[in-house]
Structure 1
Amino acid sequence: MKFKFNVLFVLILAFAKANSQQTVVIDTTEVESLDEIVVTGQYNPQSIKKSVYNVRVIKAEQIKQIAAVNVADLLNFNLNLNVTPSASTGRSTVSFFGLDARYFNVLIDNVPIVSDNGVGSNIDLTQINLDDVERIEIVEGSMGVQYGANAVSGVLNIITKKSDKNKWRINLSLQEETVSDEYAWFDEGRHVQGATISHNINDNWYASVGVTRNDFAGFFNNKKGRDYFENDGLRGYEWLPKEQITSNALLGYNNGKHKFFYKFEYFDETINFFNSTVRSNFNSQNSTINPSATDRIYKTSRIFNHLNGSGTFDSGLRYSVSLSYQEQKRRLNEFNYFILTRERTAEIDEVNQSGKFFYSKGTLGNLFKTDRFNAQVGYEITLQEGFDREAAGENILNPKTRNINDFAGFISSEIGLSDNLTVRPGIRFIYNSQFDKKAVYELTARQLFEKGFELRANVGTSYRVPDFTELYYYFVDANHDVQGNENLKPEEGLTTFLSLKKKTWFDNSLIRLENSVKLTYIDLSDRIELSIVNTNPLQYRYVNIDSYRFIGLTNTNSLKLKNWSTSLNATVFGISRELASEDNASDDYLYQFQLNASLNYRYPKWDTVFSLLVNYNGRQQDFRVTGSDSDGNSTFSKIETDAYSWLDASIRKSFLSDQLEATVGARNLFDITRVDTNYTSSGGAHNTATNSILLGYGRSFYLKLLYKLNF
């Protein structure tokens, strides 16, 4: 089947070339606009310079340059953003300012995404395809007033394409990639195919459809795959194989003053788990074996619907309304697999996790608009229904469906205290069916100075609601007693952010220099931890006992000089944790250093772009429980994780008057797989000792072909 898919796309590419028409040549060397438009958290789409928030923008050009297929491929080279992959589950989540994915909201066109682990937060980034993405906006700092729960450290908003300058646009893509040194048409490597068709029906209506298949065949490393039947722990894969298919459709209307669009997306994922424990099933009568193992197939499906309307009335009032219904199911197919005969017995196929999500958000802006004053009011409604069979414990055969509903109203204003100083205060009132009523606050300011200096400050409160596991987990048997806690309260967060940016232009804007210094402080109280609540018998519960503090200093520098662009960025941050229930716990700050750099060169004569990206993650430290004292209290020791670096390189070239685009590149050139975690930080990034973290599958190479037919 994989071979047929790849051959089919090669034939489609050849057919499209044979039947293509001449298209207009676009000058790709044109100097890009220095006034990027952003929408996340804004009353109206406006330039980054005018935004009161500090917004990072990842453009479609950057996505293309590294041939990123999903969001997880893209974020490795952003400071304070760390992607954490899991070889055993196939998931990749993001941490921001040291806080994990539960404190960071991921949105598509300002709508939070449902997943098998939450809504908006704790999203598996490998499940978000990038084929129809125009840009990604990352807002740093608390966004509780605008986006509610779990926006403690910031938000990531994926802006999809909703227009095209061509009457018709047809994109066909084929990407082949090694997984370390493993590659084959059928059973090894990564194989991606995509197709998109968009059409401007008339001056007002636009439509597009697309489909992408991403087949990751797994990473064997020293494992032996599905058909291996020795019981020596080598059966299966180190990274699980998975196949994802994403299809989407969009219909949009724009008459200049009012815009409407409806977006539909269907996502399907299959992950195969092959158990390393093999039963020989020895038959003593005829001295034969019929080896078997308990294997699993996880199938996830997601439906995403989004209807949005926005525009401006004659009075100047600007409105935006979004309605979204999403549904996600994760099925577990578990069976006894006989390896030699490939038969299945004792098969179970059931929905393991299910979530339904209705969402609506509306804003009305430009209230009482003057040159000095603007205001916005809004509402947000979130209705969630779902269950998690894995967390249901003794009720696993009949898991209880839970409902959590959230209703919020918010108001904020932008006040121009002078031509260059703008402040934005805001407040959100929340009613939640599970938790007490609450309010969150925000005060953001932007000051523009002479000679290109921009100062931004943000102080805001936000909160994180407990997830399904923390509330309802139940696992009790003769040896274990671990339970959730329905009486948990949300974690309270306070975020302070200060940024000073300087832009300098030389030689009629052909040379651009940008420097910034950012200071971030996050204080999180009532943090939820799994804690011992009884020693005899031993019982664990999720309780609000922890506090968390983060302080970080970040410096970014970028330079654009004709066809060259380069950046050098560094951050140092410290994290302090306080466990109120542990007498021996330390709340000392533990510090880490990160650095990243990029170098890009466009050679117009060849219509070619060369790119180099490097990321350095310094030694990490943490306190872990390593024993107990004479009174039975836990004792803690400092655990260290070795430093490591990530290096990617690529070359992208256009052919046939920009109709055909080829990108060749390498990921993880330093060949990182595991990073040691121990007391003395000995060894290296390639050590395969058991006390190590699996971060990657080694050095990989890729080729991507993109055919563009525009007319």
Structure 2
Amino acid sequence: MKKSFSSIKNLVLFLSVTLAYSQQEENVKDTTQTKVNNLEEVVVTGQFSPQSVKKSVFEVSVITEEKINQQAANNLADVLNQALNINIIPNASTGKSGVQMFGLDAQYFKILVDNIPLVNDEGLGSNTDLTQINLDDIQQIEIVEGSMGVQYGADAVSGIINIITKKSSQYKWEITPYTQEETIGDEYGWFDEGRHIQSVKIGHNLSYKLYGNVLFTRNDFTGFSDNRKGKYHTENDGLRGYVWLPKEQFISKALLNFAPNNNFRSFYKFEYFNETIERYDSNVRPNYNPSTQTTDPTASDEIFSSERFYHHLNFFGRFKNKLNYDISFSYQQQKRNVETYNYRIKSDEKFDVEEFEYESRKVLYSKGTFSNFLDKKNFDFQLGYEINSINGYASSVAGTYGGENIDRELGTYDIFTSSEIHFNNKFSLRPGVRLLMSSNFDTQAAIELSGKYVFNNGFETRLILGSSPRMPNYDELYTYFVDANHDFRGNENLKPEQGISAFWHFKKAFSIGKNDDFKLSNKLTAWFLNVDDRIEVTIVNTQPLQQQYNNIDTYRNWGIALTNSAHYKNLNGSVGISFSGTSKKLDSRDFNDDYLYALQLNANVSYYLLKWDMVFSTFFKANGPVQQFVQKVDENDETILVKGKQDPYSWMDASVRKNFLDKKIQLSLGARNLFDVKRVNTTAIEGGAHSGSPSDLLLGYGRSFFIKLLYNLNI
């Protein structure tokens, strides 16, 4: 506690010094207050060119920069944890957090940055660790639900997230440092406990045509002990180490944006990401010496380090005031290394150190779209290409690959076209098709047909039909685990899974009052999502038992959601409810395909107290019970299927932000996970090859509190 009080005292002292140093007032434009609500949201995801949400044929949901700031969110997992139909699945043993959408895991969901997929340890765009995506330079986050194979290719089965970064500033100089201190549950210390974040962004308009910025961020998550005893625990009682692994991240970003006129813009963006995760073994070897009656306890520990290099060169504009083009070139690399060693705990000494590359991806990527060939208001069509070459590597210890390292190259070469037909001001259609050609799989196809109709009374309806394949991953292709007791293999003859979805949206925006003081927006959404040829583990031989991945199963999800948002003067709020059913038809087993149902509810409210220049925000999400059929072994040692259940839980975050000195200084205070969620009981998870089914699921590290201090120097 002494360290905690000392840390808070130092932070208050730093705030006081900063306030005293920054007495000179300056007129700074406020871009985060309520007047933002009067502007139409402009989206780029899936569009021929940037346009308002109202005009888009697709239904695009937007998470604004203001919402991100209200949550004091630092990575993508912090933000999406409150989104409807999205579940964040953390893995405390690896330090990663994945996303689940409509019941499908991160393999079926694609994450993009400025319209190009982001590389990660395991692939391109999908299977992304959300905690590795920093939000310090984000303009907004755009979410499209449903299969988006025509616009974004393979693995965009359940939807896509497109992160739009900032590329300009209205100021000559923009210098924004901030520091953030956060408890991890009830654990906090100035250096060795808690979460410690420091960041600085420097932007400069070199001329009216040229803008550049650099950004540096350090995010130190020191781990969550809970009932564990940390790195220096010497007893062999299973309590050494951490429940949530310590993780330290360093992010460096740079941008150069050239925009000489309205018909041309080009930017180059670079990012270097470095992450270190430390894993401490819970098993301690006492190494008792009877002659001296002393111990020299040791343990076998690991350090995982990830590096990401990201380059993106983009050209966007209009050729001869007619043809629109948007062309991107990217080189990305992410590699994960591991250092294994034995550790003498008392003397803080490593020995028997081994270092090697664990897994990596190198990607050459290019995407281009061309539109406005005819320069007509009522009709436009788009031609596009997407090319990538992925060189993937996984060491034998990264998976069970028969004792051999796996090094494979996958190239995809896609062409696609779509058109927008505006029959009148009310009715629009958008058909499209993509051919996906691959060096490893047969040619695939994706289709879309979307329509929008605006009624006379202002109601809008949209129907979006789309498809997308999902490519097999490394484990499904190359696993080889064969010994005296096991025969479990991948299958290089697997074919891509086939996903198709239908989404219907019906919404209306209202304005009430003389000055439109009260605004209300309501949206009803219904959907159906189907995945055929799902890859599952199958029994190919019973005596002896042999198992292999094969395309055998079908997955279906349908649901309905109602979302409502309201704005009255300085008060903003929204509430949403979602009801969905999931069916898994497992052709490899004697199994029915009954639908299992789930319910979610979310809400948020923000109040702007203009007199004091303060914003109060609360975010809430309730997750109902989740059911799933799992394999169990009965009293006769026979494998049967039973209906498992995960208990319901709720999540609430709250914050208050106060501006000082004409918004030069922002102070944010808040709490995450107010209901103190750590684990939820579950019988809906199957056990592994060498372990039984877990009785609970680790979701959080308890109630946490944060303080954030940001300084805006805008000249």
TM-score category, normalised to shorter length: over 0.9
- RMSD of aligned alpha carbons: 2.2
**CA contact 1:112–1:119 (8 Å) conserved in 2:** yes
Worse-superposed segment, 56-65 or 24-33: 24-33
- Residue 344 of structure 2 aligns with which residue? 338
Secondary structure of the equivalent of 1:401? strand
Q: Tell me by how many angstroms 1:472 deviates.
A: 1.2
Secondary structure of the equivalent of 1:50? coil
**CA contact 2:28–2:714 (8 Å) conserved in 1:** no
* Structure 1 counterpart of 2:595, from 589, 602, 610: 589
Secondary structure of the equivalent of 1:114? coil
- Residue 699 of structure 2 aligns with which residue? 695
Q: Tell me by how many angstroms 1:89 deviates.
A: 0.8
**CA contact 2:118–2:124 (8 Å) conserved in 1:** yes
- Residue 313 of structure 1 aligns with which residue? 319
- Residue 75 of structure 1 aligns with which residue? 80
**2:666 pairs with 1:661:** yes
* Whole-angstrom distance in 2 between the partners of 1:192 and 1:509: 41
Secondary structure of the equivalent of 1:63? helix
* Whole-angstrom distance in 1 between the partners of 2:420 and 2:450: 9
Q: Tell me by how many angstroms 1:186 deviates.
A: 1.7
* Whole-angstrom distance in 1 between the partners of 2:401 and 2:694: 33
- Residue 357 of structure 1 aligns with which residue? 363
* Structure 2 counterpart of 1:561, from 559, 562, 568: 568
Secondary structure of the equivalent of 1:62? helix
Counting only pairs closer than 5 Å after superposition, residues 623-702 of structure 1 correspond to structure 2 as 623-627=629-633, 634-678=639-683, 691-702=695-706
- Residue 216 of structure 1 aligns with which residue? 221
Q: Tell me by how many angstroms 1:418 deviates.
A: 2.2
Letter in 2 for 1:706: L
Worse-superposed segment, 360-369 or 373-382: 360-369
* Whole-angstrom distance in 2 between the partners of 1:633 and 1:369: 68
Counting only pairs closer than 5 Å after superposition, residues 222-621 of structure 1 correspond to structure 2 as 222-255=227-260, 256-389=262-395, 390-391=397-398, 393=400, 396=403, 399-507=405-513, 508-583=515-590, 585-621=591-627
**CA contact 2:287–2:296 (8 Å) conserved in 1:** yes
**CA contact 1:629–1:635 (8 Å) conserved in 2:** no
Secondary structure of the equivalent of 2:234? coil
CA shift digits 1:399-434 (9 cap, x unpaired): 131000000000100011222110000000111011
- Residue 63 of structure 1 aligns with which residue? 68
* Whole-angstrom distance in 2 between the partners of 1:474 and 1:93: 25
Worse-superposed segment, 31-40 or 381-390: 31-40
CA shift digits 1:516-559 (9 cap, x unpaired): 10011001000011222222222221111111000010000111
Secondary structure of the equivalent of 2:325? strand
Letter in 2 for 1:243: E
* Whole-angstrom distance in 1 between the partners of 2:415 and 2:638: 46
**CA contact 2:122–2:360 (8 Å) conserved in 1:** no
**2:32 pairs with 1:26:** no
* Structure 1 counterpart of 2:153, from 133, 148, 151: 148
- Residue 690 of structure 2 aligns with which residue? none
Secondary structure of the equivalent of 1:489? coil
* Whole-angstrom distance in 1 between the partners of 2:634 and 2:324: 61
* Whole-angstrom distance in 1 between the partners of 2:532 and 2:602: 31
Secondary structure of the equivalent of 2:284? coil
Letter in 2 for 1:258: F
* Whole-angstrom distance in 2 between the partners of 1:391 and 1:530: 19
Pair 315,660 (structure 1): closer, same or farther in 2 beyond 3 Å: closer
* Structure 2 counterpart of 1:169, from 157, 171, 174: 174
Q: Tell me by how many angstroms 1:633 deviates.
A: 7.1
* Whole-angstrom distance in 2 between the partners of 1:464 and 1:109: 22
Letter in 2 for 1:254: A
* Whole-angstrom distance in 1 between the partners of 2:81 and 2:597: 20
Q: Tell me by how many angstroms 1:30 deviates.
A: 2.6
Pair 454,262 (structure 1): closer, same or farther in 2 beyond 3 Å: same
**2:119 pairs with 1:114:** yes
Secondary structure of the equivalent of 2:406? coil
Moved over 6 A (4+): 6-13
* Whole-angstrom distance in 2 between the partners of 1:600 and 1:566: 6
* Whole-angstrom distance in 2 between the partners of 1:539 and 1:657: 69
Q: Tell me by how many angstroms 1:494 deviates.
A: 1.0
How many residues align? The count is 698
CA shift digits 1:450-476 (9 cap, x unpaired): 232110111111110011111112222
**CA contact 1:362–1:378 (8 Å) conserved in 2:** yes
Q: Tell me by how many angstroms 1:8 deviates.
A: 11
* Whole-angstrom distance in 2 between the partners of 1:354 and 1:334: 18
Q: Tell me by how many angstroms 1:20 deviates.
A: 8.1
* Whole-angstrom distance in 2 between the partners of 1:17 and 1:164: 27
Please list every run of 5 or more consecutive structure 2 residues that lacks an aligned counterpart in the other structure: 685-692
- Residue 689 of structure 2 aligns with which residue? none
* Whole-angstrom distance in 1 between the partners of 2:147 and 2:42: 21
**2:46 pairs with 1:41:** yes
- Residue 212 of structure 2 aligns with which residue? 207
* Whole-angstrom distance in 2 between the partners of 1:533 and 1:10: 68
Secondary structure of the equivalent of 2:457? helix
Secondary structure of the equivalent of 1:451? coil
Worse-superposed segment, 284-293 or 595-604: 284-293
**2:136 pairs with 1:131:** yes
**CA contact 1:13–1:707 (8 Å) conserved in 2:** no
- Residue 685 of structure 1 aligns with which residue? none
Q: Tell me by how many angstroms 1:187 deviates.
A: 1.2
Please list every run of 5 or more consecutive structure 1 residues that lacks an aligned counterpart in the other structure: 680-688
* Whole-angstrom distance in 2 between the partners of 1:295 and 1:578: 42
Letter in 2 for 1:544: N
Secondary structure of the equivalent of 2:643? strand
**CA contact 2:401–2:478 (8 Å) conserved in 1:** no
**CA contact 2:23–2:661 (8 Å) conserved in 1:** no
* Whole-angstrom distance in 1 between the partners of 2:10 and 2:405: 45
* Whole-angstrom distance in 1 between the partners of 2:278 and 2:79: 24
* Whole-angstrom distance in 2 between the partners of 1:21 and 1:428: 58
**2:104 pairs with 1:99:** yes
Letter in 2 for 1:607: D
- Residue 683 of structure 1 aligns with which residue? none
Worse-superposed segment, 473-482 or 309-318: 473-482
Q: Tell me by how many angstroms 1:96 deviates.
A: 1.1
**CA contact 2:682–2:694 (8 Å) conserved in 1:** no
- Residue 682 of structure 1 aligns with which residue? none
Q: Tell me by how many angstroms 1:26 deviates.
A: 2.9
- Residue 89 of structure 1 aligns with which residue? 94
CA shift digits 1:663-700 (9 cap, x unpaired): 10000111011101138xxxxxxxxx961111100000
* Whole-angstrom distance in 2 between the partners of 1:82 and 1:582: 28
* Whole-angstrom distance in 1 between the partners of 2:497 and 2:38: 41
* Whole-angstrom distance in 2 between the partners of 1:124 and 1:115: 7
The normalised TM-score by structure 1 is: 0.95
* Whole-angstrom distance in 2 between the partners of 1:12 and 1:272: 33
**CA contact 1:229–1:291 (8 Å) conserved in 2:** yes
**CA contact 1:614–1:648 (8 Å) conserved in 2:** yes
Letter in 2 for 1:539: Q
CA shift digits 1:458-498 (9 cap, x unpaired): 11111100111111122222222222111110000111110
Give aligned-pair identity as a percent.
48
Q: Tell me by how many angstroms 1:372 deviates.
A: 1.5
* Whole-angstrom distance in 2 between the partners of 1:506 and 1:199: 42
Q: Tell me by how many angstroms 1:316 deviates.
A: 1.4
